[in-house]
Each structure stands twice: as C-alpha cells, then as structure tokens.
Amino acid sequence: MQAMGEFERINRWFARPAHQQRKRLGEVASLLGIGDDCALLSSSTHLGQTIAVSSDMLVCGRHFHADADPESIGHKALAVNLSDLAAMGAQPLAFTLSMALDSSQDEAWLASFSRGLFSLADSHRCELIGGDTTSGPLCLSLTVIGLVPNELALRRDSAQEGDQVWVSGQLGAAAYALKYPGDCPQAEERLHWPEPRLELGLALRGISRCAMDLSDGLLGDVVHILERSKVGVVLFANQLPLHPALIRCEPLERLSLALQGGDDYELLFTAKPQVRPKLEALADQLGLPLSCIGEITADGQRQLLDENRVPIDMAFRGFDHFC
C-alpha cells in the first residue's frame, strides 16, 4: 500500500467544509482557510484590510542539523514564515514563537538564535507578540500575521488561462547545498539564510492575482496552483533561472535540483502578458531577477518542454514529508 502523502493527510483529517471555516470569530470572519500559503481573515477593526496568517514548524534533524549555526536557525525559522506572507502580498505585522528546547540550547545558543531571529524581524518591523516554551527535542513553530488590502491578496486559486508564469531569483541552490555540503559557499548561503521576497510580494499587488512561495520544489508546488485554479501549465526548461552552482551537475540532475529540490523560497506567480514591461521594470528596481518560465493553459495539461519544444520526462511532484 502506498504511504499517505502530506497533503492527503491534511485534506483527509484537517480540512473542514467551507461553512465551518467561514464562521464568524467575534469581529473577525474567515475568508480563506486551508490550502493556500496563508489563511485570510477579515476584521471590522481593519477596514479595507484582510489579515493573513500562516504557521511553519522547523524540526531539528529534519529541517536543520543539530550543529547548524543557531543564528541562521533563528533567521531561517522566521524567513520561511515571512515567505508565506510575501506569497500572499501581505505586509508583516507580528509573529508568535513556540519552542521545545533541550539542554544543548544553552545561553550562547539562545543568544545567537535570538540575534538571527530579531535581526530579520526588525528589518521587516515584525514584532514578537507571544508564544510558548517547553522542554523537549529542539523544535520551533512560528505563526506570522500580516495585512493585505481586501481584493489584492495573491491567491493560489486565481491563475487564468493565457497568464504567463514567472519566478523570482534563481533556482536549485539550496538543493545543491544539501546534496553537496561544503562545495559552494553561495549555495550554502541560500540554504541557511533564505531571503523572504516581501518587497516583491508587496509590489505584485495589482500586477498579479496569483502567487505562491517555493518551499518543496517548483514542479510539486506549481500543482497547488493548477489544482486550485483548475488550469494547466507549460514550462520551458531553457527559460529557468538556474543557480550558477548547478553548472557543475549533469543536465538532468541540474533540472531535478532546480525543479524538484526544496527550500528555494522564491516566489512563483502568474500575470497577464500585457504587464511584462512592468515586471521587467520591477526586476530592475528591486535588483532581483524575474524570469518568465511558461504559461497557464487549459485544465489537465502539465508539460515541461526542452529548447526544441520536446517534452521532458520529469514528474510534477516535489518534496513530501511522508512519501
């Protein structure tokens, strides 16, 4: 029997019918529940603004090594959460931090961890407002809260046939560093110090309607957009912005690290062809490459093509914690 995957588990045991998600919570109503990078809540005290909420957990031994630099663990724990806010076009507001700590997390460890955490938090004016601390094997769970104007949130269910597919930055560095530790300092940097693309997420408001962040590998992640938007996609392998570290790999391994490896934390988004000049100007303004890598097509199509438009045989699936 095949193991039950991460998303099957969530859908089977935790996704509830829409009427239960949408019930009013005091002055706050839920607009979008399980299935996107953030949940969206509307609040009568934030007129015109939607509240975006997201949680991510990092487990020692699974998401980072026990002997990793605690400063980078602090940075990355918040960065991967802020990346989900960026993916919705939300401005960070505050976060909570729940931790299980054991005796290895001594004073020096905590000083270094909190330095990494707060340096990123301060640079995005995102305030720590609570959490929980217990003893146990090292595990970090953060919840971030942000704001986005009503109607401007970038949602996975909003891609349309004819949209172009874009991705920020470069792909595959973190996967390369995981596979070949110590081989390429720049790739190592991308793995341990990911940069949440918050400025880009904010700038995409009104230009794009649909975005997500890449955490589990592009070919698996994009399927969430396809399923929720009921569309298909054609991707062009020769237009992918591969990280220079991948030059050292064989062509197929190169593609696999860029498309099926995780931890990139770049934004994947769709936009109408007419806004291409705006996106090119935005890339210059942010000093961040933005690459058009494909287009949204009719439901059911999932293709990765080479430079001669010949299909490449690579599965549209990424990292899954259970399969």
Cβ–Cβ under 8 Å, residues 166 and 207: no
Q: Which residues bind Mg ion (CB under 5 A)?
A: 37, 84, 213
| Count of positions on this chain that bind ligand ADP (CB under 6 A) | 9
CB of 196 to Mg ion, least distance (A): 11
Does 215 interact with ligand ADP (rule: CB under 6 A)? Answer: yes
Give dist(CA 30, CA 262) in Å, integer.
Answer: 30
- Which residues in the chain belong to E strands, given as ranges? 24-25, 28-32, 39-43, 49-59, 91-101, 127-135, 139-149, 164-168, 210-213, 232-236, 267-271, 290-297, 302-305
Considering CB distances under 5 to 8 angstroms, the limit depending on partner class, which of ligand ADP, Mg ion, none binds residue 36?
ligand ADP
323 interacts with ligand ADP by CB under 6 A: no
Q: Closest Cα partner for 259 from 301, 199, 194, 303?
A: 303
Identified binder of ligand ADP from the candidate list 5, 29, 31, 35, rule CB under 6 A: 35
One-character DSSP codes across 29-42: EEEE-TTSSSEEEE
Interacting partner of 195 out of ligand ADP, Mg ion, none (Cβ under 5 to 8 A depending on kind): none
Q: Shortest distance, CB of residue 319 to ligand ADP, whole angstroms? A: 10
Q: Residue 77 CB, nearest distance to ligand ADP (Å)?
A: 13
Q: Which stretch binds ligand ADP (CB under 6 A): 30-38, 160-168, 255-263, 277-285?
A: 30-38
Query: Looking at beta carbons only, is 42 or 215 nearer to ligand ADP?
Result: 215
* 131: partner contacted, choices ligand ADP, Mg ion, none (Cβ within 5-8 A by kind): none
Helix, strand, or coil (residue 68)? coil
Q: Residue 193 corresponds to which tokens in the numbers above? A: 């110090």
Provide, rounded to whole angstroms, the least separation between the CB of residue 55 and ligand ADP. Answer: 7
Question: At its nearest, how many Å lie between Mg ion and the CB of residue 147?
Answer: 18
User: Closest separation between CB of residue 130 and ligand ADP, Å?
Assistant: 19
Q: Does 37 bind ligand ADP (CB under 6 A)?
A: yes
CA dist., res. 197 & res. 82, Å (int): 8
Residue nearest ligand ADP, CB atom distance? 14
Tokens of 24: 């009013």
Q: Which residues of 174-195 are buried (b: 16+ CB within 10 A; e: fewer)?
A: bbbbeeeeeebeebbebbbebb
Contact between 264 and ligand ADP per CB under 6 A: no
The only residue of 84, 188, 195, 295 in contact with ligand ADP, by rule CB under 6 A: 84
The CB density around residue 6, as the number of other CB atoms within 10 Å, is 13
Binding site for ligand ADP (CB under 6 A): 10, 14, 34-37, 56, 84, 215
